[in-house]
């Protein structure tokens, strides 16, 4: 999928599932449960042991399905390139690293860097970032998006960190283009309850659909 189509699709879907867990086996089960719940953009974070193997494996497993596999917690350009080679279709970072943006631009892969300030948001946009990961969203609350959009009306924010079913509405009403959610989505996995992960994913999809018409 071309870069612009991936960005458009994530903006249209409005939700990215974040997979952060303790083992490769659990990671793959979580991905499966999330997919069964209908979330179509799934980010494997680099803190998961064997994260690149997971990306590689699920990219192959779901190659004929309508699923966008990305890499998260990508801190530097070296990791970004490794993720791309493993099959990641987009790169998400908690931080703003210009070299990561540059390598993603070089290979025409979307990069969604983490930003906390207007300075970082503007710099990320100047280096071609179309969607900005507002992180950690829980430290600001939804009103920050309205505040940022004063000087930066065309910035696209994807709040991450502390997003739950109960605050999805507030984030979209404040102007978020998408949300990303991890621990609240996948909490069932801690006790091996992958059905709960699927049910939670379904609830997120239903909730997000109210604001993505």
Ligand X SMILES: O=C[C@H](O)COP(=O)(O)O
**What is the distance between the alpha carbons of residues 75 and 60, in angstroms, rounded to a whole number?**
25
The residue to which tokens 């990069």 are assigned: 111
Q: Is 199 an active-site residue? A: no
Task: Fill in the per-residue mask, 73 to 92: x = in contact with ligand X (CB under 6 A), - = not in contact.
Answer: x-------------------
Active-site residue, selected from the candidate residues 35, 43, 130, 207: 43
**Candidates 56-64, 150-158, 159-167, 202-210; binding stretch for ligand X (CB under 6 A):** 159-167
What residue number has its CB nearest to ligand X? 182
Among 94, 142, 159, 188, binds ligand X (CB under 6 A): 94
**What is the distance between the alpha carbons of residues 183 and 19, in angstroms, rounded to a whole number?**
8
Residues 6+ apart with CB under 8 A from 176: 134, 142, 145, 157, 158, 159
**Candidates 30-38, 53-61, 101-109, 157-165; binding stretch for ligand X (CB under 6 A):** 157-165
Among 79, 111, 160, 200, binds ligand X (CB under 6 A): 160
Element (H, E) at 46: none
Question: Is residue 72 a contact point for ligand X (CB under 6 A)?
Answer: yes
Question: Is residue 113 a contact point for ligand X (CB under 6 A)?
Answer: no
Question: Is residue 163 a contact point for ligand X (CB under 6 A)?
Answer: yes
Rounded to the nearest angstrom, the gap between the alpha carbon of residue 89 and the centroid of all alpha carbons in its chain is 11
Q: Is 133 an active-site residue? A: yes
Q: Report long-range pairs for 102-108 (Cβ below 8 Å, ≥24 apart).
A: 102/77, 102/127, 103/77, 104/80, 107/81, 108/2, 108/3
Question: Is residue 18 a contact point for ligand X (CB under 6 A)?
Answer: yes
Question: Is residue 95 a contact point for ligand X (CB under 6 A)?
Answer: no
Closest CA to 134 of 175, 99, 101: 175
- Residues lying near ligand X in the complex (CB under 6 A): 18, 20, 72-73, 94, 160-163, 181-184
Q: Which residues are catalytic?
A: 43, 133
């Amino acid at each position: 999928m071309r870069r612009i189509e991936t960005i458009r699709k994530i903006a249209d879907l409005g939700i990215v599932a974040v997979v952060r867990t303790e083992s490769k086996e659990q990671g793959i089960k979580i991905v499966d449960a999330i997919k069964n719940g209908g979330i179509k953009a799934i980010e494997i974070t680099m803190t998961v042991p064997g994260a690149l193997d997971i990306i590689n494996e699920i990219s192959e497993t779901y190659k004929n399905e309508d699923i966008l596999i990305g890499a998260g917690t990508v801190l530097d350009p070296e990791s970004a390139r490794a993720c791309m080679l493993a099959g990641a279709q987009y790169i998400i970072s908690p931080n703003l690293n210009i070299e990561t943006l540059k390598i993603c631009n070089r290979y025409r892969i979307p990069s969604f860097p983490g930003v906390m300030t207007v300075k970082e948001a503007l710099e990320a946009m100047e280096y071609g970032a179309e969607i900005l990961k507002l992180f950690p969203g829980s430290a600001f609350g939804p009103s920050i998006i309205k505040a940022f959009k004063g000087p930066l009306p065309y910035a696209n924010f994807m709040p991450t960190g502390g997003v739950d079913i109960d605050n999805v509405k507030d984030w979209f009403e404040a102007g978020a283009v998408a949300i990303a959610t991890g621990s609240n989505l996948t909490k069932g996995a801690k006790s091996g309850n992958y059905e709960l992960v699927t049910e939670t994913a379904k609830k997120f999809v239903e909730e997000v659909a109210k604001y993505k018409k």
